[in-house]
């Protein structure tokens, strides 16, 4: 299953910086209280999706990870 995630991660890492402006998917954007286009652990609270969605374990779920 991990091998399926690698292409998406590589794509995310190779995207130019302006890709940061990509909006979070609808429901996730509601969680993004500080508007930085990523969901922090604090914003996610104890929702179990967070650890799964945070593929690179950096403590944030980005639009690319949530896609």
Of the candidates 64, 57, 66, 67, the one whose C-alpha atom is nearest the C-alpha of residue 14 is 64
Residues in region 44-63 near Ca ion by CB under 5 A = 54, 56, 58, 60
Closest CB 18 distance from Ca ion, rounded Å: 18
The overall longest dimension of the chain from CA atoms, in Å, is 32
CB of 20 to Ca ion, least distance (A): 12
Q: Does 25 bind Ca ion (CB under 5 A)?
A: no
Question: How far lies 3's CA from each of 6, 10, 27, 44, in Å?
Answer: 5, 11, 27, 26
Residue from 8, 15, 25, 36 that binds Ca ion (CB under 5 A)?
Answer: 36
Interface with Ca ion, residue 32, by CB under 5 A: yes
């Amino acid at each position: 299953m991990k091998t399926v995630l690698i292409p998406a991660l590589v794509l995310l890492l190779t995207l130019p910086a302006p890709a940061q402006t990509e909006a979070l998917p609808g429901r996730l954007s509601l969680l993004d209280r500080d508007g930085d286009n990523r969901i922090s652990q604090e914003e996610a609270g104890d929702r179990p999706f967070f650890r799964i969605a945070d593929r690179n374990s950096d403590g944030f779920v980005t639009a690319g990870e949530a896609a």
